[in-house]
Amino acid sequence: MSGTGAGGTTGGAPSAGCGKPAGLTSGRASIDVNGTMREYILLVPDNYDPNRPYRLIFGWHQLAGSAESIANRGYYGLEDPSAGQAILVAPEGLIVNDRNDRGWADTGGQDVAFYRAMLARFGSELCIDQNRIFSTGFSYGAMFSFKLACLPDSMTRAIAPQAGSGACRNGTPPVAVLGFVGVNDSLLSGHRQAVNTFGEANGCSGDPIEMPMSWCDGLNSNNLPCVCVQYQNCDAGYPVTSCEYEAGHQFAPNSGQTIWDFFSQF
Protein backbone atom coordinates (compact mmCIF):
# COMPACT_ATOMS: atom_id res chain seq x y z
CA MET A 1 0.00 0.00 0.00
CA SER A 2 1.14 3.50 -0.59
CA GLY A 3 0.54 6.43 1.70
CA THR A 4 -0.91 9.76 0.75
CA GLY A 5 1.97 11.95 1.83
CA ALA A 6 2.79 13.95 4.90
CA GLY A 7 0.10 15.56 6.97
CA GLY A 8 -3.25 16.20 5.37
CA THR A 9 -4.55 14.96 2.04
CA THR A 10 -7.00 16.12 -0.58
CA GLY A 11 -10.60 15.82 0.55
CA GLY A 12 -9.70 16.58 4.16
CA ALA A 13 -11.85 18.33 6.74
CA PRO A 14 -9.69 20.82 8.67
CA SER A 15 -10.72 21.32 12.28
CA ALA A 16 -11.31 24.66 14.01
CA GLY A 17 -7.75 24.55 15.35
CA CYS A 18 -6.20 24.88 11.90
CA GLY A 19 -4.50 28.16 11.10
CA LYS A 20 -3.89 28.98 14.77
CA PRO A 21 -0.88 28.41 17.04
CA ALA A 22 -0.99 25.02 18.74
CA GLY A 23 -2.93 25.16 21.98
CA LEU A 24 -1.61 21.80 23.18
CA THR A 25 1.83 20.24 23.57
CA SER A 26 3.14 16.72 23.90
CA GLY A 27 2.87 15.03 27.28
CA ARG A 28 0.36 13.90 29.89
CA ALA A 29 -2.72 16.06 30.37
CA SER A 30 -6.14 15.87 31.95
CA ILE A 31 -9.61 16.83 30.84
CA ASP A 32 -12.86 17.18 32.75
CA VAL A 33 -15.51 14.81 31.39
CA ASN A 34 -18.86 15.36 33.10
CA GLY A 35 -17.16 16.05 36.41
CA THR A 36 -14.58 13.24 36.19
CA MET A 37 -10.97 14.10 35.48
CA ARG A 38 -9.61 11.88 32.72
CA GLU A 39 -6.01 11.67 31.53
CA TYR A 40 -4.19 11.00 28.28
CA ILE A 41 -0.67 11.23 26.87
CA LEU A 42 -0.39 13.23 23.65
CA LEU A 43 2.36 13.25 21.03
CA VAL A 44 2.38 16.29 18.75
CA PRO A 45 4.95 16.23 15.90
CA ASP A 46 8.11 18.22 16.58
CA ASN A 47 7.65 19.99 13.24
CA TYR A 48 3.94 20.65 13.83
CA ASP A 49 2.47 22.93 11.16
CA PRO A 50 -0.79 24.65 12.19
CA ASN A 51 -1.82 24.91 8.56
CA ARG A 52 -1.59 21.17 7.87
CA PRO A 53 -4.53 18.97 8.92
CA TYR A 54 -3.00 15.95 10.65
CA ARG A 55 -4.28 12.44 11.03
CA LEU A 56 -5.29 11.68 14.63
CA ILE A 57 -4.63 8.18 15.96
CA PHE A 58 -5.91 6.84 19.27
CA GLY A 59 -4.10 3.92 20.94
CA TRP A 60 -6.23 2.25 23.65
CA HIS A 61 -4.47 0.11 26.24
CA GLN A 62 -5.40 -3.39 27.36
CA LEU A 63 -6.96 -4.41 30.70
CA ALA A 64 -4.45 -3.63 33.46
CA GLY A 65 -2.46 -1.57 30.96
CA SER A 66 -1.89 2.16 31.04
CA ALA A 67 -1.45 5.18 28.82
CA GLU A 68 2.21 5.24 29.80
CA SER A 69 2.74 1.64 28.67
CA ILE A 70 1.30 2.46 25.23
CA ALA A 71 3.34 5.66 24.91
CA ASN A 72 6.43 3.64 25.86
CA ARG A 73 5.58 1.16 23.08
CA GLY A 74 5.74 4.03 20.62
CA TYR A 75 1.95 4.22 20.46
CA TYR A 76 1.64 0.66 19.19
CA GLY A 77 4.77 1.11 17.09
CA LEU A 78 3.29 4.03 15.13
CA GLU A 79 5.59 6.77 16.38
CA ASP A 80 8.54 5.91 14.14
CA PRO A 81 6.79 5.04 10.85
CA SER A 82 4.39 7.99 11.09
CA ALA A 83 7.45 10.26 11.21
CA GLY A 84 5.62 13.37 12.31
CA GLN A 85 2.70 12.87 9.93
CA ALA A 86 0.13 12.18 12.65
CA ILE A 87 -0.88 13.27 16.12
CA LEU A 88 -0.88 10.29 18.47
CA VAL A 89 -2.73 9.88 21.76
CA ALA A 90 -2.73 7.19 24.46
CA PRO A 91 -5.80 7.63 26.70
CA GLU A 92 -5.92 6.38 30.31
CA GLY A 93 -8.71 4.01 31.27
CA LEU A 94 -10.63 4.01 34.55
CA ILE A 95 -10.35 1.37 37.27
CA VAL A 96 -12.78 -1.40 36.36
CA ASN A 97 -12.34 -4.07 39.06
CA ASP A 98 -11.25 -4.69 42.65
CA ARG A 99 -7.66 -5.30 41.51
CA ASN A 100 -7.46 -1.66 40.42
CA ASP A 101 -7.00 -2.68 36.79
CA ARG A 102 -7.77 0.01 34.26
CA GLY A 103 -9.84 -0.59 31.17
CA TRP A 104 -12.74 0.51 28.98
CA ALA A 105 -15.95 -0.76 30.57
CA ASP A 106 -17.70 2.41 29.32
CA THR A 107 -20.12 2.31 32.26
CA GLY A 108 -22.91 4.74 31.51
CA GLY A 109 -21.09 5.77 28.34
CA GLN A 110 -18.29 7.45 30.28
CA ASP A 111 -15.47 6.23 28.01
CA VAL A 112 -17.27 7.22 24.82
CA ALA A 113 -17.85 10.62 26.43
CA PHE A 114 -14.11 10.77 27.18
CA TYR A 115 -13.33 10.02 23.53
CA ARG A 116 -15.69 12.73 22.35
CA ALA A 117 -14.24 15.25 24.80
CA MET A 118 -10.74 14.52 23.50
CA LEU A 119 -11.93 14.88 19.91
CA ALA A 120 -13.44 18.26 20.72
CA ARG A 121 -10.31 19.47 22.53
CA PHE A 122 -7.85 18.27 19.89
CA GLY A 123 -9.97 19.64 17.07
CA SER A 124 -10.20 23.09 18.63
CA GLU A 125 -6.60 23.35 19.86
CA LEU A 126 -4.76 21.56 17.03
CA CYS A 127 -5.09 21.20 13.27
CA ILE A 128 -6.82 17.85 12.80
CA ASP A 129 -8.20 16.28 9.64
CA GLN A 130 -11.64 15.28 10.85
CA ASN A 131 -11.98 12.82 7.97
CA ARG A 132 -8.91 10.90 9.13
CA ILE A 133 -9.42 9.76 12.70
CA PHE A 134 -8.11 6.29 13.52
CA SER A 135 -8.09 3.84 16.40
CA THR A 136 -6.00 0.85 17.44
CA GLY A 137 -5.70 -1.14 20.62
CA PHE A 138 -4.96 -4.53 22.12
CA SER A 139 -7.49 -6.77 23.90
CA TYR A 140 -9.76 -4.41 25.87
CA GLY A 141 -8.37 -1.61 23.70
CA ALA A 142 -9.31 -3.56 20.58
CA MET A 143 -12.81 -4.08 21.94
CA PHE A 144 -13.15 -0.35 22.51
CA SER A 145 -11.86 0.34 19.00
CA PHE A 146 -14.60 -1.92 17.64
CA LYS A 147 -17.13 -0.13 19.85
CA LEU A 148 -16.14 3.30 18.56
CA ALA A 149 -16.29 2.06 14.97
CA CYS A 150 -19.87 0.91 15.59
CA LEU A 151 -20.96 4.45 16.48
CA PRO A 152 -22.20 6.35 13.42
CA ASP A 153 -21.05 9.67 14.89
CA SER A 154 -17.58 8.65 16.14
CA MET A 155 -15.94 9.99 12.95
CA THR A 156 -13.75 6.85 12.85
CA ARG A 157 -12.19 6.33 9.41
CA ALA A 158 -10.34 3.08 10.09
CA ILE A 159 -9.40 0.80 12.97
CA ALA A 160 -6.66 -1.75 13.61
CA PRO A 161 -7.91 -3.91 16.52
CA GLN A 162 -5.48 -6.43 17.99
CA ALA A 163 -7.04 -9.51 19.62
CA GLY A 164 -10.41 -8.15 20.62
CA SER A 165 -14.05 -9.00 20.05
CA GLY A 166 -17.09 -6.83 19.64
CA ALA A 167 -20.57 -6.65 18.20
CA CYS A 168 -22.53 -3.74 16.79
CA ARG A 169 -26.18 -3.08 17.39
CA ASN A 170 -28.66 -1.35 15.09
CA GLY A 171 -26.40 -1.49 12.07
CA THR A 172 -22.78 -0.68 11.51
CA PRO A 173 -21.33 2.28 9.59
CA PRO A 174 -18.65 1.53 6.98
CA VAL A 175 -15.21 1.70 8.58
CA ALA A 176 -11.97 0.32 7.11
CA VAL A 177 -10.55 -2.50 9.24
CA LEU A 178 -7.18 -4.18 9.66
CA GLY A 179 -7.52 -6.88 12.32
CA PHE A 180 -4.88 -8.96 14.08
CA VAL A 181 -5.37 -12.04 16.26
CA GLY A 182 -3.50 -15.17 17.34
CA VAL A 183 -4.93 -18.50 16.23
CA ASN A 184 -4.57 -19.80 19.79
CA ASP A 185 -6.29 -16.79 21.33
CA SER A 186 -9.50 -17.50 23.27
CA LEU A 187 -10.96 -14.42 21.55
CA LEU A 188 -10.31 -15.80 18.05
CA SER A 189 -13.92 -16.56 17.16
CA GLY A 190 -15.19 -13.28 18.61
CA HIS A 191 -12.53 -11.34 16.75
CA ARG A 192 -13.38 -13.05 13.47
CA GLN A 193 -17.06 -12.35 14.00
CA ALA A 194 -16.39 -8.67 14.69
CA VAL A 195 -14.26 -8.32 11.55
CA ASN A 196 -16.94 -10.12 9.52
CA THR A 197 -19.49 -7.60 10.79
CA PHE A 198 -17.51 -4.82 9.15
CA GLY A 199 -17.03 -6.91 6.03
CA GLU A 200 -20.81 -6.95 5.71
CA ALA A 201 -21.16 -3.27 6.57
CA ASN A 202 -18.53 -2.36 3.98
CA GLY A 203 -20.35 -4.24 1.23
CA CYS A 204 -17.72 -6.97 0.86
CA SER A 205 -18.74 -10.21 -0.82
CA GLY A 206 -17.23 -13.55 -1.78
CA ASP A 207 -14.50 -15.43 0.02
CA PRO A 208 -11.51 -13.47 1.36
CA ILE A 209 -8.28 -14.09 -0.56
CA GLU A 210 -4.84 -14.64 0.92
CA MET A 211 -2.54 -11.65 0.68
CA PRO A 212 1.12 -11.77 -0.44
CA MET A 213 3.51 -12.87 2.28
CA SER A 214 4.93 -9.34 2.39
CA TRP A 215 1.92 -8.45 4.53
CA CYS A 216 3.35 -10.72 7.21
CA ASP A 217 6.98 -9.57 6.99
CA GLY A 218 6.85 -7.66 10.25
CA LEU A 219 4.99 -10.39 12.08
CA ASN A 220 7.32 -13.08 10.74
CA SER A 221 10.32 -11.24 12.13
CA ASN A 222 9.23 -12.86 15.40
CA ASN A 223 9.17 -16.24 13.65
CA LEU A 224 5.40 -16.47 14.02
CA PRO A 225 3.72 -18.13 11.03
CA CYS A 226 1.15 -15.67 9.71
CA VAL A 227 -1.59 -15.46 7.10
CA CYS A 228 -3.34 -12.25 6.05
CA VAL A 229 -6.52 -12.27 3.99
CA GLN A 230 -8.35 -9.45 2.29
CA TYR A 231 -12.11 -9.33 1.87
CA GLN A 232 -13.30 -8.88 -1.70
CA ASN A 233 -15.58 -6.42 -3.50
CA CYS A 234 -15.73 -4.02 -0.55
CA ASP A 235 -17.04 -0.49 -1.03
CA ALA A 236 -14.36 1.80 -2.43
CA GLY A 237 -12.21 3.20 0.36
CA TYR A 238 -13.37 0.67 2.96
CA PRO A 239 -11.07 -2.36 2.76
CA VAL A 240 -11.19 -5.14 5.34
CA THR A 241 -8.06 -7.20 6.03
CA SER A 242 -7.41 -9.77 8.74
CA CYS A 243 -4.04 -11.17 9.86
CA GLU A 244 -3.76 -14.30 12.01
CA TYR A 245 -0.51 -15.57 13.47
CA GLU A 246 0.62 -18.61 15.41
CA ALA A 247 0.32 -17.27 18.95
CA GLY A 248 -2.02 -16.83 21.89
CA HIS A 249 -3.36 -13.61 23.38
CA GLN A 250 -0.68 -11.02 22.69
CA PHE A 251 0.06 -7.73 20.97
CA ALA A 252 0.33 -8.01 17.21
CA PRO A 253 4.13 -8.28 16.98
CA ASN A 254 6.06 -5.65 15.03
CA SER A 255 2.84 -4.38 13.48
CA GLY A 256 3.50 -0.63 13.66
CA GLN A 257 4.63 -0.25 10.06
CA THR A 258 1.79 -2.42 8.76
CA ILE A 259 -0.79 -0.40 10.71
CA TRP A 260 0.71 2.87 9.55
CA ASP A 261 0.72 1.73 5.92
CA PHE A 262 -2.95 0.83 6.31
CA PHE A 263 -3.97 4.11 7.99
CA SER A 264 -1.86 6.35 5.76
CA GLN A 265 -3.60 5.24 2.56
CA PHE A 266 -6.67 7.24 3.61
CATH number of the domain encompassing residue 203: 3.40.50.1820
Predicted pLDDT at 221? 63
| Prediction pTM value | 0.94
Between 12 and 237, the higher pLDDT residue: 237
Show the domain range for 218.
27-263
Write out pLDDT tens, residues 189-211.
999 999 999 999 999 999 999 98
Provide the number of structural domains found in the chain. 1
| pLDDT(157) > 80 | yes
> Does residue 13 lie in a domain region?
no
DSSP result, the chain: -----SS--TT--B-TTTTS--S--SEEEEEEETTEEEEEEEE--TT--TTSPEEEEEEEPPTT--HHHHHHTHHHHTHHHHTTSEEEEEE-PEE-STT--EE---GGGHHHHHHHHHHHHHHHHS-EEEEEEEEEEETHHHHHHHHHHH-TTS-EEEEEEES-----SS-----EEEEEEETT-TTHHHHHHHHHHHHHHTT--S--EEPPGGGGHHHHTTT--EEEEE-SSPPTT--EEEEEES-SS---TT-HHHHHHHHTT-
